[in-house]
Amino acid sequence: MDNYIVKAYLVYLPIALILTLIVARIFFRNSKIFMSDIFRGRMEIANSTNKLFELGFYLLSLGFALFIMQVTGVYDITRQQFFEILSKKVGTLTVFLGVMVFFNLYMLFRGKKKTSENERLRKRAEQLAQQRLANQ
């Protein structure tokens, strides 16, 4: 009987790497717009922050992909078990990547909300200062 475990590893690793790269590339290319808005057009800070988020995404995603790779307690598996194990691993990684995307979106929208709140407070403080000057 062929050892399908090694074959599963050889199939899973490229899938995990490519899937992680595709998701990260799409997400972080599009998140630049959010970062620019959050940092009010200061592109140097926006790009730097985006790159740091991207690095964290890669580290967590690839680390998780490697963490779930191990198959324990099974040495000789059938062709059916090969596909079941492979689909479970790829499915688990796909769900994890989806959760990571939604978490990053949450963080972007939270940053946008904070920026908007700070902008409103700054404008209100300016209005109050102008009113005080006008009343004097």
Residues of the chain with confidence (pLDDT) below 50: 1
Total tally of structural domains belonging to the chain: 1
pLDDT of residue 2: 56
SS3 92: helix
CA distance 43 to 49: 10
Enclosing domain of residue 124: 4-135
CA distance 54 to 63: 14
pTM score of the predicted model: 0.79
pLDDT of residue 91: 95
Residue 46, CA distances (Å) to 28, 56, 100 in order: 11, 15, 20
Length of the chain in terms of residues written: 136
Q: Are 93 and 19 in contact (CB under 8 A)?
A: yes
pLDDT of residue 98: 95
pLDDT of residue 112: 87
Question: What does the pLDDT look like over 62-101, one tens digit per residue?
Answer: 999 999 987 666 667 788 888 888 899 999 999 999 999 9
